[in-house]
Each structure stands twice: as C-alpha cells, then as structure tokens.
Amino acid sequence: MMITKIEPLDKMRSKVLTDEDFAFVLYRGEIKRLGLNEGCELEAKKAELIKNDILLRRAKERALHLLKSGDKTERELSDRLLRGGYPEEIIGRTLEFLREYGLCDDRRYCRDYIASRIKKAGERDIREKLLKKGVGRDLIGECMEEAAEGLFEEAALGENESSESSLRDMQLEACKKVIYKKLGRGSGAKELSEFLGSGDKRAVSKLYAHLCRKGFSGDVIRECLDLREEASI
C-alpha cells in the first residue's frame, strides 16, 4: 500500500491518502512519529497498528462522547464519524462495539422517540423525522404498531395514563393541543367551539392546512375540527 498524498486539514490534522481503498486522518505529530511520507510504502503491520491502536480507539471514544448528549441512531453516529474522516471499516467496527454493549439500538431509539412525541406531533411528521435520522421504514412501522397496541411502558406514557391508550387517541390529543395553541393562549374546547361556530370557512381552512403541515392525518384533523368526512377544505 503506497501513500499517495498527505493533505492538511487544519493546524493539527492531516488526511493520509493511499493507492488502495484506505484513507484516514491523523494528528501531524502521529504522522511524524510513524514516519509517514508521500510516496512511501505503508507496511501492512503499520497499517493494522493505525487501524486498531489509533483509529478504532479514537472512533470509539468519539462515539461515546457523542452519546453523552443523548441517544443517537446508527446513521447519525455513522455520519458524524464519517465527517470526522474515519474509514468506513472503522465506523462499522465502532457501531458493532456499541451494539454489543447496548449503547446504540435503533429500535430503542425509535420507540423512545415515538413515545416522547406522539402527543406533541403528527404521526406523519414523526415518521418523516425518523426516516431522516436513518431509522428503517419497516422498523418505524413496527414501533408505531406497538404504540397503537399500547405496548410502551407506562413510564413513557405518564403515571396517570393507561398503557391501553390507542395511537389514534394520542394523536387526537396532540392535534387538539396544537389547535389550542394556534387559537391563542388559554384556549380550550370552548374557544374551539366558538371558532368553528363563527362560520369563517377561510380561517378553518387555514387551520386545517396548518395541522396538515404538522403531520396530522386528515381523519384526525377532521375529528378534532368536527368536520364531516365529505366536507370540502
């Protein structure tokens, strides 16, 4: 394996490129200590030392540091490590280490994410955000089904709430909270009734559109706004 280029990244680090599918970032002091130079051969023994003793250890430490601020999906951790210049092989081994010790679990993340947001945001919005975080579509569907069947722990739902609450009930409650907030401070069922009874179809239409953008399904919105299925919005 030949070192083709050593490219400075900042005042302290440089990226080492090789003629094979292996590129990595080291501190300049490490590059000097290891005797790495452009046009020189990178011996297999030295390459393994760089991978195992430097890059893998550093990637694990970086991942653990990222997890201190809160749970992350595998995609989120992978993307952060990739931006840090770690090779895909090292990232894969780091994720394997985290999974082995239960430090990174997309199913757990997905369940917790849904449990914490199902009464605050629309189902579609939750699904889209989980997809962006790299959670698989099938896994999201499974966790949503668990929510609908009331399989989350009571602690996640709240001390005074039944674990049998349906996903639809939680979405209705979330939708009403958004409606009340949109209508103004201190608004509740009475203010919503007055708003709907005003006959201002344009205002109702704007509220409907707002709720759609928040990720709520049409049937949930219609029930909250007491609209008939065939109503034209």
- Check which CATH number belongs to the domain holding 19 and give it: 1.10.10
| Closest to 231 (Cα-Cα) out of 194, 201, 197 | 201
State whether 148 and 176 are in the same domain. Answer: no
Q: How does the average pLDDT of the chain come out, rounded?
A: 87
Total number of domains constituting the chain: 3
State whether 23 and 68 are in the same domain. Answer: yes
pLDDT digits over 75-107, tens only?
999 999 999 999 999 999 999 999 999 999 999
Whether the pTM exceeds 0.75: the reply is no
What is the model's pLDDT at position 127? Answer: 94
pLDDT digits over 206-224, tens only?
898 888 888 888 888 888 8
In this structure, is residue 219 part of a structural domain?
Answer: yes
* CA pair distance 94, 55, nearest whole angstrom: 10
State whether 13 and 54 are in the same domain. Answer: yes
- Which of 157, 175, 196 is where one domain is finished? 157
State whether 15 and 43 are in the same domain. Answer: yes
- Which of 72, 100, 128 is where one domain is finished? 100
State whether 176 and 147 are in the same domain. Answer: no
The SS3 assignment for 125 reads helix
What is the model's pLDDT at position 232? Answer: 44
Percentage of the chain modeled with pLDDT above 70: 90
* 59 close to 86: Cβ distance less than 8 angstroms: yes
Residue 65 tokens read as 């540091």
The SS3 assignment for 99 reads helix
Burial degree of 75 (CB within 10 A; 0-12, 13-18, 19+): middle
Q: Is the pLDDT of residue 46 over 70?
A: yes
* CA pair distance 148, 84, nearest whole angstrom: 39
List the domain range (segments joined by +) for residue 176: 167-224
State whether 68 and 153 are in the same domain. Answer: no
Q: Which residues pair with 26 in a beta bridge?
A: 14
